[in-house]
Structures are given as C-alpha cells and as structure tokens.
C-alpha cells in the first residue's frame, strides 16, 4: 500500500543479451531488443513487495530473496546509503529465464541502476561513507560483474551494442562497445526447456588443448570484424566456429546441439546463446527466410534487432 511518505519511484528498462557468440567465451556479448521493465519504489513501511508479470511470475521468492531486491540492497550498501524500510517492485518481464538470454544479468543491472537512482531519497548516508548516488557508470559495471561473476552479459546489458569485456588478473573488469553493422539480424530460437548456467558451466574442462585455444582466439577476432562490416554469410560461418565450450556442453542440451549442427550444415551461422539452450543465428537479409525450414515447432523463432542503447532509467513512472 502506498502512503504519503513513500518516495517517488523510477522505472528501469534492461535488454536481453547473448554472450559468447560462439568463439568469444566469457568475453563477447550482444544486446538484443527484448526488454524487462522494473518500477521500483521505496516505501515508508517495512517490507518487500514484488509483483511480476510475464517471465518469473511463478517464482517462489518474491521478497528479500528476489534477485533485483538483493542487487538493490548491495548497491545501497556500496553507496553508503541507509537501507530503505520497504521496497516495492513491479516487474514486466519479457526475457525468458534460464534460456541463455541474460535474464539474471538484466535483473542485477536493473537492481543496481534503480538503487543508484533512488539513493538520494533512501535517507541520510552512513557516517564516513562516500555518499549515496556516487556510483559512476564504471562502478555500476564493476558491481554488476561482481554479482554476476563474469562480465560478458552485464557489459552489453549496460552499454548496448556489441561488447568486448575482460578482467585484469585479480583486478576490475573492462569493456569496449562496438556498433554491429545494421544488416546483421540476430534471430533467437528459444526452446520451451530450460538449462541453468551453473549446470552448463559444470561440464567445462579445466584444461583445453592449445590448438583449440588458438583457434578460438582467431575466430573471436574474426567475428568482431564480421559483425561490424557488411555481413557475409561465409565469413560469419568461419567466424562463429567454437572449440572451447559448445561441444562440452552438448550432453546437457542435445536438442540445442543438434539444431546448431543442422543450421550450420545448411550454411547458417548458428551458435549457442550464452550457456544455452537458446540458439542464436546471425541472419542477413538473404538468409533470414532459410531458418524456418530447419526449425521444428519446439522452438520459438524470434527475429530481433540489436539494442544499441543498453539499460537506462526512465522517467516518469510509465512503461
């Protein structure tokens, strides 16, 4: 229930993302024009109230354990802001969960950005703190990476476009944003089944052959070039070859692995999106119509554009 003492809310909009993109394991990411929207309001009365429409509406934890709430709490602490007595979230979720489209990164980024925008209304800062509202964009990226565990999804979610992310040894994460060519048409093939990132990561070996690492380094560099110039299907096919993670994860998602193989055999540059099980195809104007002939009814074919803006706080409180 809203009272006269409740603070004005904000609305945060965050895009879906696809990480790895084939050879760019834990480094390359792409923002997609499929978005979640979160309205966050600080309440005078204690308690957390989370209302979810769309993906995640059946989640069991719609209180303090909700990922957006947890990210907000950490961000308030990091800024030295007093934790609000209560939080209300209204979430309109379109990003599928546990499908390899960055839903957890989107939630983390939404929570941090909402907390940053609301920090000045949360209350006086703790003694000796650097002060609420003083998270820079670099700080937001660093905190999101810390909470997510790796930067490849949070980078495109925050910045938009095509991103290259990396971390210094025991140091902060960094990213570079690039603009993909306008003729690159990402098409997500989204299955009805799910796969957790933790399960997919658990299948990766600790060591890989030097030849595989060298092959992926070359393909990742080629992919950056292929996505930022006029796309050529042949070049995209070569650039999306992977030896570091997709084959190792195939036992956990055999239908995804089979679809990737069939699409590539048809000359379509298909990759596993993030940890899967969604498949991402880099279509062009000439190849987009070929996808449907290789995909069965089990998969939702969702053509997308690249989100070039990234996450942002919207005013006023409207979606």
Contact 102, 155 (CB under 8 A): no
Beta strands 299-303 and 47-54, pairing class: unpaired
Per-residue pLDDT tens digits for 207-224? 999 999 999 999 999 999
Tell me if 273 is assigned to a ligand binding site: no
Give the whole-angstrom CA distance, residue 93 versus residue 187. 19
Residue 243's pLDDT band, with cuts at 50, 70 and 90, is: very high
Of the segments 250-259, 288-297, 308-317, which one has the largest average pLDDT value?
Answer: 250-259
In percent, how much of the chain has pLDDT > 90? 72
Is residue 99 marked as binding?
Answer: yes
Contact 20, 152 (CB under 8 A): yes
Residue 148, pLDDT > 80, answer yes
Which residue shows structure tokens 């992926």?
A: 216
Q: Identify the three-state secondary structure at position 270.
A: strand
Is 288:270 a contact under the CB 8 Å cutoff?
Answer: no
96 appears as a binding residue in the annotation = yes
Residue 297 has pLDDT above 90, yes or no: no
For residues 219 and 305, give the distance between their C-alpha atoms in angstroms, rounded to a whole number.
23
| Predicted confidence (pLDDT) per residue in 76-125, tens digit | 999 999 999 999 999 999 999 999 999 999 999 999 999 999 987 655 55
Helix axes 103-122, 67-79, angle to 10 degrees: 40
138 annotated to bind ligand: no
Task: Answer yes or no: are the C-beta atoms of 64 and 49 closer than 8 Å.
Answer: no
85 is in an annotated binding site: no
pLDDT at 294: 83
Q: In the chain, how long is the greatest CA-to-CA distance?
A: 65
pLDDT for 13-64, tens place per residue?
A: 999 999 999 999 999 999 999 999 999 999 989 899 999 999 888 876 788 9
Cβ-proximal residues to 198 (8 Å cutoff; 6+ apart), any chain: none
Contact yes or no for 42/121 (Cβ under 8 A): yes
- Mean pLDDT, the chain, rounded, equals 89
* pTM metric for this prediction: 0.91
Q: Residues 21, 269: contact at Cβ < 8 Å?
A: no
Which pLDDT score is estimated for 298? 84
C-alpha distance from residue 241 to each of 101, 106, 264, 268, 303 (Å): 20, 27, 10, 12, 22
Nearest 5°: CA angle at 159, between 303 and 27?
80
167 annotated among ligand-binding-site residues: no
Say if residues 100 and 277 touch (Cβ distance below 8 Å). yes
Q: Is 104 annotated as a binding residue?
A: yes
User: Cα(157)–Cα(136) distance, rounded to whole angstroms?
Assistant: 16
């Amino acid at each position: 229930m809203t009272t006269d003492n409740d603070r004005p809310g904000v609305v945060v909009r965050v895009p879906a993302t696809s990480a790895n993109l084939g050879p760019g394991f834990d480094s390359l990411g792409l923002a997609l024009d499929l978005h979640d929207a979160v309205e966050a309001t600080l309440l005078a009365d204690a308690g957390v109230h989370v209302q979810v429409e769309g993906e995640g509406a059946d989640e069991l934890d719609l209180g303090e354990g909700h990922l957006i709430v947890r990210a907000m709490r950490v961000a308030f602490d990091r800024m030295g802001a007093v934790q609000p007595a209560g939080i209300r979230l209204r979430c309109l979720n379109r990003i599928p969960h546990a499908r390899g489209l960055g839903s957890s990164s989107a939630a983390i980024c939404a929570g941090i950005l909402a907390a940053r925008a609301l920090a000045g209304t949360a209350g006086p800062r703790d003694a000796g703190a650097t002060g609420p509202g003083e998270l820079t964009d670099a700080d937001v990226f660093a905190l999101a990476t810390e909470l997510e565990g790796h930067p490849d999804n949070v980078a495109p979610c925050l910045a938009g476009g095509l991103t290259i992310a990396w971390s210094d040894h025991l140091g902060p994460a960094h990213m570079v944003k690039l603009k993909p060519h306008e003729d690159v048409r990402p098409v997500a093939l989204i299955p009805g089944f799910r796969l957790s990132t933790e399960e997919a990561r658990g299948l990766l070996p600790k060591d890989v052959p030097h030849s595989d690492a060298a092959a992926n380094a070359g393909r990742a560099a080629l992919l950056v070039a292929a996505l930022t110039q006029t796309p050529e299907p042949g070049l995209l096919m070569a650039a999306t070859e992977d030896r570091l993670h997709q084959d190792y994860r195939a036992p956990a998602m055999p239908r995804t692995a089979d679809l990737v193989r069939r699409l590539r055999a048809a000359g379509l540059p298909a990759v596993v999106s993030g940890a899967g099980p969604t498949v991402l195809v880099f279509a062009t104007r000439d190849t987009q119509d070929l996808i449907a002939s290789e995909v069965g009814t089990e998969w939702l074919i969702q053509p997308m554009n690249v989100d070039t803006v990234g996450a942002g706080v919207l005013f006023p409180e409207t979606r």
